[in-house]
Structure 1
Amino acid sequence: MTRLDRYIFRQLVVALLAVTIGLAALVWLTQSLRFIELVLDRGLSFLVFIELTGLLLPSFFAVILPITTFVVTLFVYVRLAADRELVVMRAAGLSQWRLARPALGLATIAAGLCYALNLWLVPVTQASFRAWQFEIRNQLAAILVQEGVFSSIGDDLTVYARYRDRDGTLRGILIHDARERGAPVTILAEAGRITPGPNGPRVTLENGQRQQIDRVPPPADAAPGTPPSTRLNVLSFSENSVDLARTRGGTQDGERYRNAQERTLDELLNPDPADRIPDRDLRRFRAEAHQRLASPLNAIGFGLVALATALAGQFRRHGGGIRLFTGIAVVVALLALGLMVGNLAARQNSMIPLIWVNALAPGVLACWVIAGLPGLPHGLGRRRPRPAQAEGAGPA
């Protein structure tokens, strides 16, 4: 690496660290606001909050690193062009690819970091995060129930207690259980106690009613298209128990179902048949595996797009805005296209090759632009000489 390479590379690295850390901190701050309630209202310590939200940072870095690589490369090279430093370097005999070498090295390092994050660190941290979140919602459900508050345990279970005695007995209990699809249950009880169970805490209720709305199919002689009727079933009981740990995030036996983000690459491509994973999730797993392998290449592709934007034209201190806007618009369009292609591939695995096209095509086209658009006619691929230069040119 020459002295000029080190000069440009040092500016790129410093800017990349500053922009990536700053943007990751901003994203972390916005995402962590939804966990503040665990500290303020649920009684968990601030250290647990920091550790829980810190597990989200690797996934943030994996997403924003290709974007910050583009931003930093574009900013540094445009500034070098505006300060006429690139003009001096070209006058010294440096070609386009020699000028691009520091940025290509930075983009390669960023892609390597993204591969380490996607293939190792992100699945580990996501598994730890979701396991911890599942434990807080289920195994620690006892501390989530507060007197005089409608406490949501997961997305489908709500518990209300009018007050709590000194011995821990809950009085005036209302439970709305929507964990069974299409059959929500409302339970009213005079008293209850939270006790440990085999799969987590459960509440033992005394002297109450269990209300459930059932759908009754129309009789056989009903007219076609007759909607089913509903019937309210009320069951009085002297003692009943409700499992607070069996939420929608787990299975019937209390085990937690792991989604695609927390599975390793081998588990995504070769899932265990004993898990009985639905076909819909199998399609998502295959799309997620290819997304992990292809998305780090965006760091190189976006870096090449930034180089094509900065090196293919001349920037002045008060000009070049259209070219800058074009480069930024291209990356924004690529990001939107990547989201669309990822969703399509998750539904139909036949669209998976589009993930690789979206990751490789921008870099290939940017290389073509940096090389001077070879293959195009002379008037399209290169700029025509100025009239003064044409008149001054004599016969060979």
Structure 2
Amino acid sequence: MRSGKLVSRLDIYIFRQVLVALLVTTGGLTALIWLTQSLRFVDLVVNRGLSLMVFLRLTSLLIPSFIAVILPITTYIVIQFVYQRMASDRELTVMRAAGLSPWALAKPALAVAVLVTVIGYGLSLWGVPESMRSFRQYQWEIRNRLAAFLLQDGVFTPLSDKLTVYIRSRDTDGTLRGILVDDARDPTAHATILAERGRLVEGPSGPRVLLIDGSRQVIDHQTGRLDTLTFKQNQIDLADATKDDGTRVPDMSEVSLSALLHPHPLLERDRGKWIAEAHKRLTAPLTTLSYAMIGLFSALGGQFRRHGNIMRPMVTIGVMVGLLAVGLAFGTVAARDNRLIFLLWLHATLPGLICCWLLLLPSIRTRSVRIGQPRTAAATV
């Protein structure tokens, strides 16, 4: 009973150490990646007039994809760190002296890895597609319905294929100076509109540009004559001008697994890429278990040394870098030729199976020796 309680307490201790370290490491790396990636969208707030809440909402939708990518890597890092720390503090020495085998010491970390794998599947099959769908949709709305805020000083901004707007400068009160609009929405009356100043106003269907003191120039196709109309005020509806006629085409990252496995007939040319992406979603969470086994074999496998062994961690770090590079290469070749999709499954499972076998091998040999010893003694008698 005491031995069982001791093992249970040690399991809980190791499990808590690995889990807490994993939460802290994953949270820190996610925040760092979010900060670096969100810098791409800072221009929306600083120079284009969108609110801070729009920025936070848009960039926060990318967080699930960051977590899904780094979870397998952080699992390896945390297991390597926790077990190496316990080895340097002689905790592993005490646990081995208490009779715990490498496999028994590995079970708490494997429990964390299994939990992370389940979370990874939840993110890969549901969380990431949903968040990316919301991200793409919100980004599309910003580009179309809020296109007026994307106008830049001194830049010809194409709000659609048929409407281009140029502004020379923008005052602190929001007044636009030196406005030029190339309007080709009416094919029979391609117009060029000039205005001294203007202002963005809110219309019933979205933003509009109120033009003041300007002229509208249209070429008469029948006579070839340039017709010029001056005006005091005129309005252009940017929301209707930038609204797409068709629906937004979904990206691979935002569709469901079934949609990836059975792509739309219109996407037949990219069928191989979509099917490969589906298998990536199914295999990516499994790499968590493989990477966890690599970390456990690095810390617990091989000949035990009280003062630790720096060579195994260094070798496994090199192996991890190689596996990450090979995973990217396998994803590329599988997208080109779906007959090579099995490489994705081998990459996700084979390293873990090999490390599992290497970690169990000493225990198997020890059991076989123990079983063989009584037989040898009996035969001698």
TM-score for both structures, normalised by structure 2: 0.76
Q: Which amino acid aligns with 2:94?
A: V
Q: Structure 1: how far apart are the matches of 2:174 and 2:329? A: 55
> Which residue of the partner structure matches residue 187 of structure 2?
none
Match of 2:232 in 1: none
Q: Tell me how far 1:315 sits from its aligned partner.
A: 5.1
Alpha-carbon deviations, 1:260-311, whole Å to 9, x = none?
Answer: 00001111112344xx22412x222111111001000011000000011111
> Which amino acid in structure 2 is aligned with residue 190 of structure 1?
L
- Structure 1 segment 172-191 matched on structure 2, within 5 A: 172-173=179-180, 189-191=193-195
The AA in structure 1 aligned to 2:50 is L
Taking the TM superposition and a 5 Å limit, the aligned residue runs for 1:223-234 are: none
Q: Is residue 130 of structure 2 the alignment partner of residue 124 of structure 1?
A: yes
Q: How does 1:58-77 map to 2 (within 5 A)?
A: 58-77=64-83
CA separation of 1:301 and 1:235: change in aligned 2, threshold 3 A:
farther
3-state secondary structure, aligned to 1:257: coil
Q: Is the contact between residue 164 and residue 182 of structure 2 (CA under 8 Å) also seen in structure 1? A: yes
Identity across the alignment (%): 45
> 5+ unaligned residues in a row in structure 1: which ranges?
178-186, 211-233, 377-394
**1:51-87 residue CA offsets vs partner (Å, 9 max, x unmatched):** 1111110000000011000000011111122222222
CA distance in 1, matches of 2:194, 2:151: 16
Q: What are the equivalent positions in structure 2 for 1:250-289 lying under 5 Å apart? A: 253-273=245-265, 276-280=266-270, 282-289=271-278
Distance 1:91 1:235 in 2: 99
How far apart, in 2, do the equivalents of 1:349 and 1:53 lie? 33
Q: Describe how 1:192-211 pairs up with structure 2 within 5 A.
A: 207=216
The verdict on how the C-alpha distance between 1:237 and 1:130 changes in structure 2, with shifts beyond 3 A counting, is farther
SS at match of 1:2: helix
Describe the shift of the 1:99–1:144 C-alpha distance in structure 2 as closer, same or farther (beyond 3 A). same
1:138 to 137, 144, 157: 144
1:89-108 to 2 correspondence within 5 Å? 89-108=95-114
Q: Select between 34-43 and 76-85 the one with higher mean Cα deviation.
A: 76-85
**TM-score scaled by length of structure 1:** 0.73
C-alpha offsets along residues 2-50 of structure 1, whole Å, 9 cap, x if unaligned? 1110011110011001100000000000000111111111111111111
Matched with 1:225 is none
Count of aligned pairs between the two proteins: 338
Structure 2 residue 48 is matched with structure 1 residue 37:
no
3-state secondary structure, aligned to 2:100: coil
Residue 78 (1) aligns with residue 84 (2): yes
Partner Cα distance (2:146, 2:285) in 1: 38
In the other structure, the counterpart of 1:355 is 344
Q: Per-residue CA shift, 1:197-254, capped at 9, x if unaligned? A: 99987989964599xxxxxxxxxxxxxxxxxxxxxxx997869x9988888xx9x624
Do the aligned residues in 1 keep the contact of 2:160 with 2:241 (CA within 8 Å)? no
Q: Deviations over 1:344-370 (max 9, x none)?
A: 222222221111111011101111221
Q: Are positions 1:302 and 2:309 aligned together?
A: no
Contact conserved, 2:167 with 2:178, CA < 8 A, in 1? yes
Tell me the equivalent position of 2:312.
Answer: 323
Residues 306-329 of structure 1, C-alpha deviations (whole Å, 9 max, x = no match) = 011111144555x62221111111
Match of 2:155 among 138, 150, 153: 150
Q: Which residue of structure 2 aligns with residue 218 of structure 1?
A: none
More helix by share: 2
Equivalent residues of 1:149, 1:161 under 8 A apart: yes
**2:147 touches 2:159 (CA, 8 Å); kept in 1?**
no
Judged with a 3 Å threshold, the aligned counterparts in structure 2 of structure 1 residues 163 and 7 are, in CA distance, closer, same or farther, namely: closer
